[in-house]
Amino acid sequence: MTAEAAVVLPVLVLFTAALLWGLAAAAAQIRCVDAARAGARAVARSEPEPAARAAARAAAPDGARVIVVREGELWRVTVEARAPGPGGLGLTLRAGAAALAEDTVGEAAP
């Protein structure tokens, strides 16, 4: 019985650590999605780009990179962050959101 416990216990510890790491990465991904949406809403409301970046950074994980770009009638906000991970196993998480610019709403198409 002792030999089995010596084998199973490290496996259970490793499984628990992997599960916790996965949950932390999932939570960070959700924060990236929320941050991208917050930034897109801000620029769509014609708030200045620095204010939109600040809104996105406030919702993003620490150390996240926020990119705000206007492409025609759309504002695109991308948030990238490193997920916590053991050693060099961290993942780069990315989420994006787009919103129609407020100054184009209601314009007639040519």
Digit-coded pLDDT (tens) for 40-87: 999 988 899 999 999 999 999 999 999 999 988 899 999 999 887 776
Under 8 Å CB-to-CB from 83, ≥6 apart: which residues? Answer: 24, 25, 28, 29, 90, 91, 92, 93
pLDDT at 1: 64
Is the pLDDT score of 4 beyond 70? yes
Sign (positive or negative) of CA dihedral 45, 93, 82, 31: positive
pTM over 0.85: no
